[in-house]
């Protein structure tokens, strides 16, 4: 089973104007160079899509297994996951974008529609969990235990490193399968956590600047020095970036409203810098040059005042 790690329907928000599916892909280590013109539908050789990412079985038939005594995913299980992404997650993304553009960007309406909120959190979490690096953040204890067992088996010659990769991937795909079936799992648990403990902000890019995206578009920024920029980020399109921060962090708890923030050019560039920092290998944009959109200067005072001003206005409403 093959899959794009970053959905094509998501990447199309950064497609090159007047093209059906063109996009520029940049190496995070060569940002001053022009991007490579690629087709969104043909990214198998990039970090946006891994051709073998969903293949669970080892090439050695003696090691075709999943952890916990569960069998490897059957062909039907693979179809269940593919149908979940295609029909539940990715197909509804276009409807959500229409809502975002119409209600938030143009009308500046910040009241939540519950079905849109639920879908957005589901899309965000499933995108976050597609990256093994992110998935392990929330399964550290499980992976530590699993790796100890697997490393011991490798030392004894019972497994290869390739078998270890397949075994750890099987944990992720069984979680995905449970989500696709509507059964309790780590994804649904994280969705509830975000819904209960985090406030959703939508950040709007200022004129003459845009948000970029990457092969790891949904990430958690843990700022140890200043928590006001700590939280989950995910660019929605070139004009809007979602930011989820703990309610206790900014003393906010208003599940019936989104909080809409207009950013300065410097802070848009700063967030693009975070997108670059947390990407795996590649960035994407609709123009062949990207370096001028990325910065390191965080306008902390303006950021804080913008949030405080909107929060006061929201409390008075």
Cα radius of gyration rounded to whole Å, the chain: 20
pLDDT at 72: 57
Tell me the C-alpha distance between 19 and 49, whole Å. 21
- Residue 56: predicted pLDDT: 36
The per-residue pLDDT for 149 is: 65
CA distance 108 to 248: 25
- Full strand arrangement of the beta sheet holding 198-204: 219-221, 231-235, 240-246, 198-204, 259-262
Determine contact, residues 121/191, Cβ cutoff 8 Å.
yes
pLDDT given for residue 214 in this prediction: 94
At residue 267, the pLDDT reads 92
For 168-186, give one letter per residue: b (16+ CB within 10 A) or e: bbbbbbbbbbebbeeeebb
The pLDDT of residue 42 = 85
* Tokens found for residue 305: 């005042």
- Supply the pLDDT for residue 34: 94
Cβ–Cβ contacts within 10 Å for residue 114, how many? 9
What local confidence, expressed as pLDDT, does residue 289 receive? 93
* Residue whose pair of structure tokens reads 């003459």 in the numeric block: 208
Q: Mean pLDDT per segment of 10 residues, for the chain of length 317 residues?
A: 72 93 93 92 75 38 35 73 82 86 71 80 87 67 60 65 59 79 84 88 91 94 75 94 83 68 92 94 94 88 76 57
**What's the predicted TM-score (pTM) here?**
0.82
Q: What is d(CA 277, CA 270) in angstroms, rounded to the nearest whole number?
A: 10
pLDDT score at 248: 74
Residue 71's pLDDT is 44
Helix (H, G, I), strand (E, B) or coil at 243: strand
- How far CA 103 is from CA of 46, 112, 218, 224, 312, in Å, comes to 35, 10, 23, 34, 21
62-84 burial, b if ≥16 CB within 10 A, otherwise e?
Answer: ebebbeeeeebbeeebbebbeeb
């Amino acid at each position: 089973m093959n899959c794009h790690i970053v959905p094509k329907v998501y990447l199309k928000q950064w497609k090159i104007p007047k093209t059906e599916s063109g996009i520029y892909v940049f190496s995070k280590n060569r940002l001053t160079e022009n991007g490579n013109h690629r087709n969104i539908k043909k990214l198998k050789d990039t970090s946006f899509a891994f051709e073998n990412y969903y293949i669970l079985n080892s090439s050695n038939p003696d090691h075709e297994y999943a952890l916990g005594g569960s069998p490897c995913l059957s062909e039907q299980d693979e179809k269940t996951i593919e149908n979940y992404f295609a029909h539940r997650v990715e197909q509804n993304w276009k409807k959500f974008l229409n809502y975002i553009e119409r209600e938030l960007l143009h009308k500046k309406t910040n009241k939540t529609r519950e079905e849109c909120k639920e879908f957005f959190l589901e899309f965000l979490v499933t995108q976050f969990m597609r990256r093994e690096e992110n998935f392990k953040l929330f399964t550290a204890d499980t992976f530590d235990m699993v790796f100890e067992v697997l490393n011991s088996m490798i030392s004894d010659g019972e497994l290869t490193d390739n078998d270890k990769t397949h075994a750890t991937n099987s944990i992720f795909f069984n979680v995905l399968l449970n989500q696709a079936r509507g059964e309790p799992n780590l994804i649904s648990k994280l969705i509830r956590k975000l819904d209960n403990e985090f406030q959703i902000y939508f950040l709007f890019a200022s004129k003459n600047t845009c948000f970029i995206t990457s092969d790891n578009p949904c990430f958690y920024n843990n700022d140890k020095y200043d928590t006001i920029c700590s939280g989950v980020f995910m660019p929605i399109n070139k004009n809007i970036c979602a930011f989820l921060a703990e309610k206790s962090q900014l003393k906010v708890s208003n599940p019936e409203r989104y909080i809409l923030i207009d950013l300065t050019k410097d802070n848009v560039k700063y967030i693009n810098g975070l997108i670059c920092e947390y990407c795996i290998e590649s960035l994407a944009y609709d123009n062949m040059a990207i370096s001028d959109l990325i910065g390191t200067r965080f306008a902390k005072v303006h950021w804080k005042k913008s949030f405080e001003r909107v929060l006061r206005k929201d409390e008075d409403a």
